[in-house]
Structure 1
Amino acid sequence: MPFPTRTIALWAALIAASALLGFGLKLAQFPAALLLGPMVAAIVFGVRGAPLRMPKPAFQAAQAMIGCMVAHAITAEITKTLIADGPLILLVVGVTVLAGALVGLILTRLRVLPGTTAAWGSSPGGAAAMVAMAEEYGSDPRLVAFMQYVRVAAVVLSASLVARLLTDSATAGPPPAAAEAATFLPVLVTLAVAAVGAGVALWLRLAAGALIGPMLLGAALHATGVASISLPLPILELAYATIGWYVGLRFTRETLRATLHALPGILVATLAVILLCAGWALGLTHLLAIDFLTAFLATSPGGLDSVAIIAVGSKVDVSFVLAVQTLRLFVVLITGPLLAKWIARAVPQEPA
């Protein structure tokens, strides 16, 4: 069934606006400009009621590409980082997860959001997985998505701004998967890794499987030298834009209207988590030989895919950032249901 003419026109307008914003941010030397531009444009279109949705298979394909990009950066150095600084990294991850749980508990006790919605919505990372699991456990997925993607948008904006202010753009390199000449065979192998990794992970019903599957499979093959991970820059840029559109178009007028009374609390909670993580990042610079931007990106409570895009476009210790973010994603996926149940039990239920 062909797209209606209006839908085609809206997509063309969104693509044009995204290109304009992305190009402008790139000229301003913002990291992840081609993620940030499409996301901002999509938020505007979504809130204004444009009947556009990014198909989930397209979003999963984009996640698979980002998984391969992350896999290219995951080397033996990440293992060394986890071994050398494991206890401290676990502490950082634990503090971030507990901060999200505390915010969820406070919002739930204050009845800013109904039931355990705040518990799922405040989990730091794994936005798509938290939305899916929240629906299975009876929470309102729209409100959870709203909280999660407000935080993702805030983290992307703040992390991009901090990276722009602290990064010497003249020394920031291209994404590692695009740094090599993208020859035909490595690209074909990479696309096969993306398809197989995502397919198996989704078949196993792993949370965030489209991202985690290619990342784990690609990292194992790349780090051991069995295969070379390589992606042309246009494919990566399309993946960036797709993720930006998927996130941005979730901000609809209806969702905003339904959660308007909760917006101040959500924004305060989001800012509080970001500032808390920034404080921990500052503390890490005194405990480890890392710069503030590396620590800030490592502790940022955003999605792994979004933070990875920003990290590889900035002058940071990508191995450390990805080690912390990857570990936290797994911790969040494991502890999310447990924390939500704990918050539900800790908050007195309203009488029927």
Structure 2
Amino acid sequence: MPSPARTIRLWAALVAASAVLGVGLKLAQFPAALLLGPMIAAIVFGVRGAALRMPKPAFQAAQAMIGCMVAHAVTAEITRTLIDDGPLILLVVGVTVIAGALVGLVLTRLRVLPGTTAAWGSSPGGAAAMVAMAEEYGSDPRLVAFMQYVRVAAVVLSASVVARLLTDGGASGPPPTAAEEATVLPVLVTLAVAALGAGLARALHLPAWALVGPMLLGAGLHATGIASITLPLPMLELAYATIGWYVGLRFTRETLRATLHALPGILVATLAVILLCALWAFGLTHLLAIDFLTAFLATSPGGLDSVAIIAVGSRVDVSFVLAVQTLRLFVVLITGPLLAKWIARAVPPEAA
């Protein structure tokens, strides 16, 4: 572990590098620039052996802030969208989950990755649950975790690039109304909603409770006018950066060294899932009156927090994207372990 003085210097350097990259990407009009810049900087620092870690409580607090931002942006429209387009949304979610399962099955049978690692690592979401279950069934949890976070990083990068290419000077930050009139009382109310929503969701054992709880509670209160969800722009930007640092710093030199031999297979699996989802998104534009970017973000294989940031900062149907992504999160956490177990049992012993 680095000394306290060196840790401070490393964090200062990481913050500076993140600011430069974030501002540069924002000037280039990339959506989620203040998430993407810190994530890229953190990946570089992590792989170069900086040995920095973003505390889990800070990451959970950032997720709660994103949940409040989403609540302000979509209000009750997610529920309306789920009711109006429920069967089609289930189909969209099902295709994404099946795409991940097929890629995992093929890679496991081809022995691209050791054992049944691909079965757990190719699941489009639920990273923590997949890592925990993988070790129990004989897979290397480090490789599964690395594969999951490579997927998250690849989704953020690809979604940001696609959003940049398909929008003309779209905003890269939260909607302006989310940061308007950020006086003390509304901010305190919003923070209370975030804390209460996260606490209730955790008590109910909901998946991604730190994000989902504030999002659902905040949307209900904001839509009915009981509470006004308001966050200062600097607080949202800090939440963006925190999520970027948390994901990026997972890419350490030690983990990379342990998984370097499997990196080609991990990249193949990740790109295959993203490509399959993109093809399905293209087909979806012929079934619904939605644009390709909306369909692409809706079908992107996780994670919910980063896709929410990109969606809110782009000109898309935010309610549809987040309705699909929220439902997918629940479906993946329920079916992911079951599918991974099925793949593990379906593969002959000599291939596992």
Question: Please, what TM-score do these two structures have when normalized by structure 1?
Answer: 0.94
2:187 is equivalent to residue 187 of structure 1: yes
2:284 is equivalent to residue 274 of structure 1: no
CA contact (8 A) 1:126 1:304 kept: no
Q: Give the CA deviation at 1:329.
A: 0.6
Aligned position for 2:305: 305
CA contact (8 A) 1:167 1:315 kept: yes
Q: Cα deviations across residues 72-105 of structure 1 (Å, max 9, x unaligned)? A: 2233322222222221111111010001011111
1:1-352 correspondence runs (5 A): 4-135=4-135, 139-169=139-169, 174-175=174-175, 178-350=178-350
Secondary structure in structure 2 of the residue aligned to 1:100:
helix
CA contact (8 A) 2:69 2:174 kept: no
Q: Give the CA deviation at 1:213.
A: 1.6
Q: Give the CA deviation at 1:145.
A: 1.4
CA contact (8 A) 1:54 1:245 kept: yes
Q: Give the CA deviation at 1:71.
A: 1.6
Q: Give the CA deviation at 1:279.
A: 1.0
Q: Distance in 2 between matches of 1:190 and 1:8?
A: 31
RMSD: 2.1
Q: Distance in 1 between matches of 2:114 and 2:227?
A: 49
- Tell me which amino acid in the other structure corresponds to 1:188: L
CA contact (8 A) 2:31 2:160 kept: yes
Q: Which consecutive residues of structure 2, in runs of 5 or more, have no partner in the other structure?
A: none
Q: Distance in 2 between matches of 1:205 and 1:46?
A: 31
Q: Percent identity of the aligned residues?
A: 89
Q: Cα deviations across residues 56-80 of structure 1 (Å, max 9, x unaligned)? A: 1111111111111122223332222
Q: Distance in 2 between matches of 1:104 and 1:173?
A: 35
- After superposing on structure 2, the runs of 4+ consecutive aligned residues of structure 1 that deviate more than 6 Å are none
CA contact (8 A) 1:104 1:119 kept: yes
Q: Which consecutive residues of structure 1, in runs of 5 or more, have no partner in the other structure?
A: none
Q: Give the CA deviation at 1:226.
A: 1.9
Q: Give the CA deviation at 1:3.
A: 6.3
Q: What is the aligned length?
A: 351
CA contact (8 A) 1:68 1:218 kept: yes
Q: 1:263 to 1:250 in 2, by over 3 A?
A: same
CA contact (8 A) 1:177 1:231 kept: no
CA contact (8 A) 2:33 2:172 kept: no
Q: Cα deviations across residues 198-249 of structure 1 (Å, max 9, x unaligned)? A: 2233344433211122122212222222211111111110000000000000
Q: Distance in 2 between matches of 1:61 and 1:144?
A: 25
CA contact (8 A) 1:71 1:218 kept: yes
CA contact (8 A) 1:197 1:217 kept: yes
Q: Distance in 2 between matches of 1:105 and 1:128?
A: 20
CA contact (8 A) 1:105 1:119 kept: yes
Q: Distance in 1 between matches of 2:318 and 2:350?
A: 47
Question: Please, what TM-score do these two structures have when normalized by structure 2?
Answer: 0.94
Secondary structure in structure 2 of the residue aligned to 1:259:
helix
